[in-house]
Amino acid sequence: MYKQRLKIYNAKIITPTKIVDGGTILVTGASITAVNEKNIETEDAVEIDAKGNYVSPGFIDIHVHGGGGHDFMDATETAFLKIAEIHARYGTTSMLPTTLTSSKEEILETLESYEAANKKNLNGSQFLGVHLEGPYFAMNQRGAQDPRYIRDPDPKEYKDIVARSSCIKRWSAAPELKGAIEFGKYIRSKDILPSMAHTDAVYEEALQAFENGYTLATHLYSAMSGVTRKNSFRYAGVVEAAYLIDEMDVEIIADGIHLPAPLLKLVYKIKGADRTALITDAMRAAAMPEGESVLGNIHRGLKVIVEDDVAKLPDRSSFAGSVATADRLVRTMINIAEVPLLDAIKMITVTPAKILNVFDKKGELTAGKDADIVIFDSNIKIEMTIINGRIIYHRQTANDNKS
């Protein structure tokens, strides 16, 4: 079988340790076959002049709900495929489709839709599995999660869900709930990553959870306990636990709104690029005009308002997910948090790849790894997205088609 070859030259290639100016990357089929600091002579390759722009590993979003007017909770093949396509335009080459708190029936329906869509997903960000966000949450930290479905972990329920789907890779829950430690141990035994989320846990509970498999903090600071007082005494929360436990990974919604500049800087200063993943947490209104929208299933979800570049509950009492795309996350970390480009890219490539245990194939521009590549300019405007060696998005071509 013929495998198309690509040659990307005149590039500022981003590696974990430096930027290679004037470098070249060769791709054969779906894999990177060579990375060189100089030009590589080759025949029969489609040549791509990077024009001095940055060439990066593809962005990996491990927490995303929707975009382009669709939500994964719509539970249709169309929704899954359209979300993958829209985020690919902004540099996301791999993603973890994420659910919301809902009924068991809706969770299973969404998992079935994932399986069907995954077989047809050729023109968008690759699916790396499913992230179940909820329904095992603390009511006081529900944020925009639907309170009708919030409940404690039920072994009969979650064991059945796991038994009926092999695509679950991550499950977010509040570790202080009754049965949550046993839940974490169980899903870990099934190679599913437990993550602390929408939680009122104190430090001691978070530490116990970490020791039993909860090694990731879902959207740090958002819907999460910090220092609290009980009977006059102060207790550290999950935020402090994330900082104190060196080996705990965190993810942050780096849209510049969920976390202001001082908190973005603090996370980077304490956890560093090696333990921090950037996520969009994008809902259906990502890449859409501001106005009314719906969080979750289009028919049964919560009505929200999108303004100020973020989704809010109608009474504006809480954020209801972001409308960010991956390129915005990188710009935010560079321009607002003052993080070096190399570290900002690491937080959306290497680090999430390691968290999801896919670093053997993704996260770096290295010979033998998947040809998931993004080309962008100095303003992080995406010029081209390549997934598995196929050009999925080309800004110039897209603009030509519009004219």
Question: Contact at 8 Å (CB) between 278 and 334?
Answer: no
Same domain, 201 and 283: yes
Cα–Cα distance between 48 and 184 in angstroms, integer? 46
What per-residue confidence (pLDDT) applies to 396?
Answer: 83
pLDDT bracket for residue 400 (50, 70, 90): low
Q: Quick one: pLDDT at residue 136?
A: 98
**How much helix, strand and coil, in percent to the nearest 5, is found in the chain?**
30, 30, 40
Q: What is the mean pLDDT of residues 277-302?
A: 96
Question: Which domain covers residue 270, as residue numbers?
Answer: 59-355
pLDDT tens digits for range 84-143: 999 999 999 999 999 999 999 999 999 999 999 999 999 999 999 999 999 999 999 998
Residues 37 and 178 in one domain: no
Region 378-387 average pLDDT: 98
Instruction: Judge whether residue 338 has pLDDT over 70.
Output: yes
For residue 401, what pLDDT is reported?
A: 67
Q: In this structure, what are the phi and psi dihedrals at residue 333, rounded to the nearest 5 degrees?
A: -65, -35
Q: Answer whether residue 1 shows pLDDT above 80.
A: no
d(CA 311, CA 309): 7
Residue-wise pLDDT tens digits, 5-52: 999 999 999 998 899 999 999 999 999 999 999 888 888 899 999 999
Paired with 57 in beta bridges are: 373
pLDDT in tens, 373-382: 999 999 999 9
What are the backbone dihedrals phi and psi of residue 23, each rounded to the nearest 5 degrees, phi first? -85, 175
Kindly state whether residues 23 and 63 are assigned to the same domain: no
Same domain (yes/no): 44, 129: no
Instruction: Tell whether the model's pLDDT for residue 158 goes beyond 90.
Output: yes
- Give the pLDDT of residue 397: 80
Looking at residue 402, its pLDDT comes to 67
Spatial distance between the Cα atoms of 301 and 9, rounded to a whole number of angstroms: 46
> Residue 144: its pLDDT value, please?
85
Q: How far apart are CA 221 and CA 240, in angstroms?
A: 10
Assess whether 50 and 129 both reside in one domain. Answer: no
Query: How confident is the prediction for the chain on average, in pLDDT?
Result: 96
Q: Looking at the structure, tell me whether residues 80 and 106 fall in a common domain.
A: yes
Residues 23 and 147 in one domain: no
Specify the CATH number for the domain of residue 12: 2.30.40.10
- Lowest-confidence pick of 113-117, 195-199, 392-396, 398-402: 398-402
Evaluate if residue 314 carries a pLDDT over 50.
yes
**CATH code of the domain covering residue 285:** 3.20.20.140
Task: Indicate if 267 and 372 belong to the same structural domain.
Answer: no
Query: Domains in the chain: how many in total?
Result: 2
Whether 339 contacts 333, CB under 8 Å: yes
On whether both 381 and 350 belong to a single domain, the answer is no
Same domain, 349 and 296: yes
- The answer to whether residues 138 and 214 belong to one domain is yes
State the Cα–Cα distance between residues 118 and 138, nearest whole angstrom.
Answer: 32
Residue-wise pLDDT tens digits, 265-274: 999 999 999 9
Residues 124 and 211 grouped into a single domain: yes
- Which of these three, 337, 355, 373, is where a domain ends? 355
Judged against a pLDDT cut of 60, whether residue 347 lies above it is answered with yes
Instruction: Please indicate, yes or no, whether the overall pTM of this predicted structure exceeds 0.95.
Output: yes
